[in-house]
Structure 1
Amino acid sequence: MGEGSTLKRILILHTGGTFGMLEKEGVWKPNERISKDDLLSVVPELELLAQIDVVVPYIQDSAELTLGHINLLASTIADNRDAFDGFVVIHGTDTMAYSASALSFMLAGLGKPVVFTGSQRPFMQIRTDAKSNLINSVEIAASSFNEIALFFGNKLLRGNRTTKVSTWKFEAFDSPNFPTLGEAGVNINFNLYPVGNPTLEAQEFQPFSKLRETVFVIHLFPGLQNTDLDFLLHNERIEAFIIVAYGAGNMPTGKDSGLVGFITLAIEQGKIVVIATQCTHGRVSLDIYESARIVKQLRVLGCKDMTLEAAVMKLTYLLSRYDDDRQKVRTLFEMNIAGEITDEHHIVR
């Protein structure tokens, strides 16, 4: 495109995942040599939608994702903020919801769209969803849309509201407690939704790219004993536990389980304890059942209707950014700071 082009400038960040994989020895493996020319040779339509540039921060099967990768992704976008009108992140599906959630906090106030996408089949294959996902994502990033979002299977979702729900369907992601932001059909239609996103109202862009390992997730199941968990209390690196409980935040509180004792000791050590739910839909409410109320009295925090991915990355972000102010971490965790929590007056049922 010439210098006088009116098309917007979109930076595609290719990080690996199924999208660009090649079949080797009967399995799909990351293709470390993918380039802008490779993308445009398969999807030449992209240049009709925007002025395209491509960077490769890293190439990784997303199951290998670390906080270091997320930090690099955030810093790459922050460094290119002024040079581009929008960003598209090609990412593996297994941990895409974690990265999208993390960047919604780390890049608050960015003021430009970031659209995560990927595919269930590599883009070099005949029957692939990669081409349509990428074309739609670039068109969205070049529009007036302004969110950190995820586009997959014709649905546009708020990034920190998503979770992967299928290993084989092209509609691999869902937003269980929040409406879709848009849908691609003959046209791309953006939906009006009742809950705003505080990220969009941020007055100052203060990017953060120094996430560190602080959070440990405990998934409850019948038979889990506190003796199975006590060794975790001796790990100084763990600063917070997210307990994925039953229903609205219920868990065994009797003497036989010992979970109350574990939580009590953790909090006495200055660690933060958060209660999430194993349910996909609904929210954590620690005031409904007696077992949850007993735990609430121990000064645990509730995830409300956050996805587990959003809760993990939000708590990681807060502990990394405000490591010297635990009370601020506690306060902000239960507040809606990037559209990740639904106000109780606007619950989607």
Structure 2
Amino acid sequence: MKHILLLSTGGTISCRGSAFGLTPQTDGEQLLGAVPVPAGVRVDVCDLMRADSTDITAEQRLAMARAVWEQREKYDGFVLTHGTDTMAYTAAFLCRVLRQFDRPVILTGSQLPMEAEGSDAPRNLADALVCAASAYRGAAVCFAGALWRGTRVTKADTLAFDAFSGGNTGCPPDGIVENGVLRLTACPEAGVPAWVQPKPVRAAVLTVTPLLTAEQVAVCRGMDALLLYGYGLGGVPAELEQAVRQVAESGTRVYLGTQCAKGEADLSVYAVGQRMRALGVRCLAGRTMEDAAACLQCGLL
């Protein structure tokens, strides 16, 4: 018998209509009651919060990680129902805080509320329970039948049921769920689970556009880190170079990625990239923005 803990945190899956638009109202027991529980699985429910994922704070995200870590010996797996808009940020955060976690921590949600006609919620939650009872290890997003590793996933569509992708990593999902059966094609390596305590970080995220000025870049001097997203393989215009130099020389760690939806940054190809590398700027390659944020919080970048 597999023992699973369902942690309800809000999101569209738990929403109902109100005078102010959709708001999270449905609790975890109601969500669980709407889907079949896999044979040989027992599920406990804990309502951690009822939040629109846009409003989830660093403290609340840490509370999710603690809820999993503190009950890891009691349960074989975990499911977190969560809003889709920041689900990938939470998944990456859980991957980094719960290092080499030895059981599945599956995040899921939906594009339509559980009670809406034609909702994707029943399938997603049922699939997540299947994944949580599997041999998978670590945090992942289960959505539209795909199981995405938490460090390799991003929200790619605002409305479609198939809302997530591997983003710049180019990685396929670690597994596919069909007819209640999970077929794993990859799994994080086993290791000794450890808690990585996140710390507050002063960081900025800037995207290079024709509107970005040297003065705006210079504001980042003295911060812990700057995530800069350049053109193509990581191009930054020459007119911003001096400002980037000043930021780097102030002690701020500068990381450069690509703003393209697919493909990795590579600072070795063009002169514009090599100029950045000469300033000590570090390349994010194919790391997602969500994972970069989590790594900064956990001191891994």
TM above 0.5, yes or no, is yes
How large is the Cα RMSD of the aligned pairs?
A: 1.8
User: Is 1:250 matched up with 2:235?
Assistant: yes
Structure 2 Cα separation of the partners of residues 56 and 208 of structure 1: 24
Of 275, 279, 304, the match for 2:260? 279
Aligned to 1:183: 176
Structure 2 counterpart SS, 1:83 = coil
Unaligned runs of 5+ in 1: 1-6, 319-328, 334-349
**Matched-pair contact (CA < 8 Å) for 1:75–1:208:** no
Structure 1 Cα separation of the partners of residues 6 and 277 of structure 2: 44
**Matched-pair contact (CA < 8 Å) for 1:74–1:209:** no
Q: Count how many residue pairs are aligned between Structure 1 and Structure 2.
A: 299
- What displacement does 1:120 show? 0.5
Of 102, 105, 108, the match for 2:99? 108
TM-score (norm: length of structure 1): 0.81
**Alignment map for 1:283-298 (pairs within 5 Å):** 283-298=264-279
Aligned to 1:226: 214
TM-score (norm: length of structure 2): 0.93
**Alignment map for 1:254-269 (pairs within 5 Å):** 257=239, 259-269=240-250
Aligned to 1:346: none
Structure 2 Cα separation of the partners of residues 71 and 40 of structure 1: 24
- Of 278-287 and 180-189, deviating more is 180-189
Moved over 3 A (4+): none
Of 158, 182, 202, the match for 2:191? 202
- Pick closer, same or farther for the CA change 1:72–1:249 going to 2, 3 Å: same
Structure 2 counterpart SS, 1:81 = coil
- Deviation string, structure 1 residues 69-124 (Cα, Å, up to 9, x no partner): 21111111100100100011111000000110111110012201111100011112
User: Is 1:24 matched up with 2:15?
Assistant: no
User: Is 1:163 matched up with 2:148?
Assistant: no
Aligned to 2:288: 307
- What displacement does 1:222 show? 1.1
Structure 1 counterpart SS, 2:111 = coil
Structure 2 Cα separation of the partners of residues 189 and 87 of structure 1: 16
Structure 2 Cα separation of the partners of residues 190 and 249 of structure 1: 36
Structure 2 counterpart SS, 1:228 = helix
Aligned to 1:240: 225
- What displacement does 1:49 show? 5.0
- What displacement does 1:65 show? 2.0
**Matched-pair contact (CA < 8 Å) for 1:49–1:138:** no
Structure 2 counterpart SS, 1:73 = helix
Unaligned runs of 5+ in 2: none
Aligned to 1:4: none
Structure 2 Cα separation of the partners of residues 40 and 312 of structure 1: 31
**Structure showing the higher helix proportion among its residues:** 1
User: Is 1:148 matched up with 2:148?
Assistant: no
**Matched-pair contact (CA < 8 Å) for 1:74–1:208:** no
**Matched-pair contact (CA < 8 Å) for 1:230–1:262:** yes
**Structure showing the higher strand proportion among its residues:** 2
Structure 1 Cα separation of the partners of residues 255 and 174 of structure 2: 28
Aligned to 1:54: 45
Of 56, 73, 79, the match for 2:70? 79
User: Is 1:34 matched up with 2:19?
Assistant: no
Paired letter, 2:11: G
- What displacement does 1:189 show? 4.2
- Pick closer, same or farther for the CA change 1:54–1:71 going to 2, 3 Å: same
Structure 2 Cα separation of the partners of residues 291 and 211 of structure 1: 33
- Deviation string, structure 1 residues 39-94 (Cα, Å, up to 9, x no partner): 24322x22645111111222210111221121111111100100100011111000
Aligned to 1:192: 185
Structure 2 counterpart SS, 1:15 = strand
Structure 2 Cα separation of the partners of residues 304 and 282 of structure 1: 8
Identical aligned pairs, as a percentage? 29
